[in-house]
Structure 1
């Protein structure tokens, strides 16, 4: 209306512009009424639009901050997982597992069970010692939790037996695993190699990022006291007496201070010895006052002693070589790549100096290379994603918009790096993945702003500054709302607890930071840049600036400072750049100079006379619709989405005319949705934590019967090694016999000694593209496929259990299948475990089935006669200590010198104890001249013995576990196992507890569901605030089921399972898909508010947002393609977004308009009448 009251605070003119003044567009009805007011020029971005140099400074500051932050971010393979865990170890010499459980564990558990923040107590009772592991909730402060644990253990000490050792409390971490292992070989004996290995160990442990370095294999220095029992008896001495003298002599004590001439001098008692020669001369006093030397009753010698583990190495199928294995564990928070690079530099410095050049060090495990490969792959995916997104924009909207949207990407990433550094997020696989995940989404805001600004400018009513200020006014709240809804979809993932919560923490932080940064860049950078580009004309200054840039590139290439890829490519580039420079100079003199001067004059006129710039830009955009040349279309976009608007409009009007058609469409969509929901509900789509993936590392574990001697374990290991040497997929492998090897895990390593029945192979596979092609697959085998073949190859090996342990991606999740039977009677637990183990073995897809219950081959128990001991003046401890010396030797003391500790070991000389009878016939002395045999004071019993008793949360448990091979998955195995347990239930008083991958899967699903609930609440709240309507909020939320429909059918099409990354993708869709509906509903509402009839408002609103919805959706979809096809684990997240957005895009464009028409028509008509009445009676 021409006479509209100018005092009304709105920006609309009800008068239609003259025909031809407004270029017809999808938004023409609204734009005809749009008007720029003086107040619109006072918004917050006006400052930046009119001060472009400030924007340039902002851009520089962003890149500076981002660059500095990126350099400081630690590089890791996986995110750090910090769960507060403490381990208590207590010794009880000579006690059986049952006694350790009763006398130690139960008493300590009772004290520890009431600790606040405690999640799980896991206890293990073994011969002579107890281990109690306590896991606290993830949100507990580690240091505070360990302090409270120490206090509780201290209070429990009074309830422990007198002969129990001092409890030791240690803090452990999931990060306490090797990141770098190597083998050391050379033409030297094992003792010398061990000395060189210890030099390497010392140097590597001095590096800032190293926690510790462990050595496996080699010989160590020991001083051994070999007692002559006959001579001891001759002088009425007992081994216990002499050991006591040795131990008591070898000490140094501070005694205090003495004041001498007003100065305090410390006084110290020093009795230490440092060599075997000093020890031989140690005086020993007999009962009759005679003074002997230790060498009179024992041989004392310094010699190399084999360690409890040995190590060998083979490379590319070669013969096994004796080797030592070194395993490097990093400190929490340290940079793995920097640590290993520094370590390799240290090794280079050592070679030929502190260690001979012929000592070779071969790497068998290098996480830094894995990190570099991951970063390289992700970087390539990121570059591919950027190229695809920019090309898509170039295809649909042309060069200028593609350039501006693409420019937003590095700026947003720079801000994201800064925020990541501030919040302590490391540069790991998941954080990089999150950046690439957000690539497609971060250009959404830029696309919306640029497309709207183009529509506003093409009217010819506004200067670039006015158009961008109006775009900001019209879109600021809707863009904030759409960005927040996407952030709300990711941010609740921070509420996930436990290992999973720690592991995925970088996803919500990184994505949220990136999206919020994209909003700021769209407002404060893209807006001013768009203004500059709209006014841009090439001037002489600009020409010479471009010329200078090309000249610098020419000189740099000519001087060889930059090579584009070989000498020929360099020559070609020099020729091209030279020709370009020459052409520019010639054309400048002949033609361009005059035109550039005209451009300079036009720029001045357009700045002084706004109508000039309006007319030029209107003509330019009108020409876009008439010019069809290929060059022009390259600039403005090869594909015009506006060409599809008539078809889209006819379809909407056809559906909206009839309620019957509307209902039929809605019913059809609902049926399709119900069918998709049935897929996971009926088990067609099965839950799985993470899919199998390819790694270059794996392990083969050997475990013989408890008590199996090292020689027999070595024989089994040699047989397995022969099989491994025949495998073409293997680059090299090392083996450690006598311990758990280099796969150090803090939970299994604490308080564990040598295990003569165990061995472990650490295997390095060849890179995937260097492995031989499998004839059946037509490609190289992946590690999990090779593992299945390897299991079959080693199946015939007898004498020990041989299992293949694969590396799994994601957070630690335990065995693929794990079920625990809890109860009190160990014999009944054993019976039940064996019964259910048979059932587990019968389930298809399970391998390496085992129970945690193990029996020793047997145990001889000495029962002492206390009266007989008293008659001889002896105690149980004295006799037991002597027998320990006879059987295996015992450590008496340590000698400290040359920066290392040397154990002093006491043993019997020429007294072979090969049987229990030999032990009982040993003749001992009580130190008073009385001789006796062991059988005089003790009887012996032979019985079966448990290697240990495991308790979880104060209940005895026996675990059943298995590896699950593809194509089966843990969820299916558990389902079949549960079916068996229903037919064969546990007796009363016994219960099942499930753990492993299934427990992790359940926790992950619950964490995602909880996050979905929180996200939905936040999203609904944001929608109500933005739309101010419950019905409009409902219309927008309907798009979420559309997305789920696409995800489930897409997974069915690909044959993928419903994995944890897929669930994260579904959660992300909550926020992403409703953005399309928000901008459409908001636009329809905006049309109605300015007086456009209801039906026209709906149709025009849908049409005007078609291009933005299509481009933002396709940008995100294209951005996901490289990750989806390249990453086996997290590709499921990308697939969920691709299929979810695809289905949501199609259904949103159809369902939202017709649903809005169905639910809001009466309200819209009422609002139209109210508006007409207000216009009719303005004074009232």
Structure 2
């Protein structure tokens, strides 16, 4: 976006300096320019307002300061998030079952769930599901994890034209299934979140420590807290306990008596239970792995494994139970590590409120109610991590942009005072932007921040138009007051045209309804409302500032 704007402005500058003067010499009439009826009407309203403001400078400035303070108050009440949620037109349900479930059982339960969804929610057209990992291992998932992709019918056929309604109907169906955890996301949203933060939720709380049981207790506490906070949705804690493991204890004396090594026993068990590749069969272009393995039922029956016989070199076979004892243990599915600590994750989506206020409330409650043992700590990530990263970056970029604009203004006018006057337009633009966001119900997000940055240039441009013309009139002999009044009225049309054209250009973004419109709308709201406040207040405040602070001949001499 930034590069597109830079190249567009650069091309516009070249055309303005080369082509436009040539075309103007042919197209423009030699007759005096006549003002339209609309401009005459606006001038008729503007002149008395300007004269009143110049006669009541303190009151006017105080009113604008109060307006700015009010907009800052509204800004403090405006929620903050990373990106507005975009309606991609489809839904993904992340379903997690018990960790001990087999692939066969997982597929059967998923099929039952999908049939129920198709029968109960007519808005769903098709369902595509994926369980476990792919063959390449690029998208690692457990056998108990399923991504269910829902393709929706056209919105005109829905019972209610609301995706929230559809999700609630789906949620009712899923609540009927015991022993599953689920969460909602969208294809692009899911991929972007996974690439940037490694998780899918709006908020992911990473819990670090040394003991799995302690981590599990803390995770359950935090999950219960999040479920009771207004706005939480699809609170999810990975089910990491309950998998049955069998510990093998080898009788080394018995093994030595029969001349069997532990490696040989391990290989035997692996071949019988999971199989081992013995070679490759080539059939044309196809390569087929040749596997050697025991009976298929061995994977589902410990008794059958224990009753196996181990073949000896002398041709005899002895029961496996002579050498191995199987001890049942329950344990975690996996143990995640990061920064040298074990970790577990609790994540949630946020609905109906902004992300930052939700996280702040969650932090306060967790600090009060969860006592972390020594050596344990929390981090807050997910979409919230992206928001914090973007806010930190903008905290550097915006002041830098303002500083560069100020340098350009100082070089252009040769006056510190006049450069500061023009830069005063920035707070005037912020007034409209803040009010627009609050009234529209949008949050302060990355698109809204981009809109505020775009406002810097447009708002400053109006100030340059006015100050430059004031200087021109003074150089040509006008008094300071006459230059301010006449210049403001003469430049009314250019100032209004600059702001109006920019605002009209953003109207399609404001009223767009297609995919991606949710991201475009905050930018358009900020720029359009900022232009309204900046234009109206600049035409009043800038003449006052010029009249008050340009009385010294020093500024006029520098301008000359």
Same-fold status (TM-score > 0.5): yes
5 Å-filtered alignment, 1:233-272, equals none
The answer to whether structure 1 residue 766 and structure 2 residue 160 are counterparts is no
Aligned to 2:125: 731
* TM-score, scaled to structure 2: 0.91
5 Å-filtered alignment, 1:709-1108, equals 709-726=102-119, 727-736=121-130, 738-739=131-132, 749-750=137-138, 752=140, 755-768=142-155, 770-774=156-160, 780-782=161-163, 784-807=164-187, 811-812=192-193, 814-852=200-238, 854-908=240-294, 912=298, 915-929=301-315, 931-965=317-351, 967-984=352-369, 985-1108=371-494
Q: Deviations over 1:137-165 (max 9, x none)?
A: xxxxxxxxxxxxxxxxxxxxxxxxxxxxx
- Determine helix, strand or coil for the equivalent of 2:146: strand
5 Å-filtered alignment, 1:513-528, equals 513-528=7-22
Aligned to 2:99: 706
Check conservation: 2:75, 2:435, Cα contact below 8 A: no
Q: Could you tell me how far 1:642 is from its partner in structure 2?
A: 4.2
The answer to whether structure 1 residue 671 and structure 2 residue 70 are counterparts is no
Q: Deviations over 1:621-678 (max 9, x none)?
A: 36x56xxxxxxxxxxx5x441453354334333433x4xx212111111111111112
Relative distance call for 1:1041 and 1:517 in structure 2 (3 A) is same
**More moved, 796-805 vs 817-826:** 796-805
Aligned to 1:686: 79
Q: Could you tell me how far 1:1158 is from its partner in structure 2?
A: 0.9
1:648 to 39, 43, 46: 46
Q: Could you tell me how far 1:1019 is from its partner in structure 2?
A: 0.8
**In the aligned structure 2, how far is the partner of 1:914 from the partner of 1:1115?**
72
Q: Deviations over 1:399-427 (max 9, x none)?
A: xxxxxxxxxxxxxxxxxxxxxxxxxxxxx
Aligned to 2:32: 621
- Determine helix, strand or coil for the equivalent of 1:721: helix
Check conservation: 1:696, 1:765, Cα contact below 8 A: yes
Relative distance call for 1:885 and 1:1142 in structure 2 (3 A) is same
- Determine helix, strand or coil for the equivalent of 1:1085: helix
**In the aligned structure 2, how far is the partner of 1:1163 from the partner of 1:863?**
98
Q: Deviations over 1:1112-1168 (max 9, x none)?
A: 101111111111121122210010001111000100000001111111123379859
Relative distance call for 1:960 and 1:911 in structure 2 (3 A) is closer
**In the aligned structure 2, how far is the partner of 1:647 from the partner of 1:803?**
57
**In the aligned structure 2, how far is the partner of 1:1003 from the partner of 1:1068?**
20
Relative distance call for 1:1163 and 1:884 in structure 2 (3 A) is same
Check conservation: 1:1113, 1:1141, Cα contact below 8 A: yes
- Determine helix, strand or coil for the equivalent of 1:692: coil
Check conservation: 2:248, 2:326, Cα contact below 8 A: yes
Gaps of 5+ in 1: 1-506, 535-616, 626-636, 775-779, 1172-1180
The answer to whether structure 1 residue 1125 and structure 2 residue 511 are counterparts is yes
Aligned to 1:486: none
Check conservation: 1:699, 1:762, Cα contact below 8 A: yes
5 Å-filtered alignment, 1:450-599, equals 507-534=1-28
Q: Could you tell me how far 1:1104 is from its partner in structure 2?
A: 2.4
**In the aligned structure 2, how far is the partner of 1:750 from the partner of 1:1004?**
28
Relative distance call for 1:653 and 1:914 in structure 2 (3 A) is closer
- Determine helix, strand or coil for the equivalent of 2:404: helix
Aligned to 1:312: none
Aligned length: 548
* TM-score, scaled to structure 1: 0.44
5 Å-filtered alignment, 1:374-523, equals 507-523=1-17
Check conservation: 1:923, 1:932, Cα contact below 8 A: yes
**In the aligned structure 2, how far is the partner of 1:1014 from the partner of 1:1090?**
36
Q: Could you tell me how far 1:751 is from its partner in structure 2?
A: 7.7
**In the aligned structure 2, how far is the partner of 1:1082 from the partner of 1:913?**
85
Q: Could you tell me how far 1:910 is from its partner in structure 2?
A: 9.0
Instruction: Indicate the structure whose relative CO is greater, using CA pairs within 8 Å and at least 6 residues apart.
Output: 2
The answer to whether structure 1 residue 695 and structure 2 residue 76 are counterparts is no
- Determine helix, strand or coil for the equivalent of 1:708: coil
Q: Could you tell me how far 1:685 is from its partner in structure 2?
A: 0.6
Check conservation: 1:688, 1:970, Cα contact below 8 A: yes
5 Å-filtered alignment, 1:84-483, equals none
Q: Deviations over 1:877-935 (max 9, x none)?
A: 32112112222322222223321220111122598575434323321124344533322
Q: Could you tell me how far 1:691 is from its partner in structure 2?
A: 2.4
Q: Could you tell me how far 1:994 is from its partner in structure 2?
A: 0.6
Q: Could you tell me how far 1:875 is from its partner in structure 2?
A: 2.9
Check conservation: 2:79, 2:355, Cα contact below 8 A: no
Q: Could you tell me how far 1:949 is from its partner in structure 2?
A: 1.2
- Determine helix, strand or coil for the equivalent of 2:518: coil
- Determine helix, strand or coil for the equivalent of 1:927: coil
Check conservation: 1:850, 1:961, Cα contact below 8 A: yes
Q: Deviations over 1:528-565 (max 9, x none)?
A: 1222223xxxxxxxxxxxxxxxxxxxxxxxxxxxxxxx
The answer to whether structure 1 residue 1156 and structure 2 residue 551 are counterparts is no
Q: Could you tell me how far 1:752 is from its partner in structure 2?
A: 4.1
Check conservation: 1:740, 1:760, Cα contact below 8 A: no
- Determine helix, strand or coil for the equivalent of 1:987: coil
**In the aligned structure 1, how far is the partner of 2:181 from the partner of 2:499?**
53
**In the aligned structure 1, how far is the partner of 2:283 from the partner of 2:416?**
80
Q: Deviations over 1:197-245 (max 9, x none)?
A: xxxxxxxxxxxxxxxxxxxxxxxxxxxxxxxxxxxxxxxxxxxxxxxxx
**In the aligned structure 2, how far is the partner of 1:752 from the partner of 1:1015?**
43
Which is higher, the Rg of structure 1 or of structure 2?
1
Q: Deviations over 1:1057-1076 (max 9, x none)?
A: 22221111111111221110
- Determine helix, strand or coil for the equivalent of 1:821: strand
Relative distance call for 1:785 and 1:1128 in structure 2 (3 A) is farther
Q: Could you tell me how far 1:983 is from its partner in structure 2?
A: 0.9
Check conservation: 1:890, 1:905, Cα contact below 8 A: yes
Relative distance call for 1:522 and 1:670 in structure 2 (3 A) is same
Check conservation: 1:888, 1:907, Cα contact below 8 A: yes
- Determine helix, strand or coil for the equivalent of 1:1045: helix
**In the aligned structure 1, how far is the partner of 2:402 from the partner of 2:147?**
49
- Determine helix, strand or coil for the equivalent of 1:854: coil
**In the aligned structure 2, how far is the partner of 1:1032 from the partner of 1:879?**
88
Check conservation: 1:862, 1:941, Cα contact below 8 A: yes
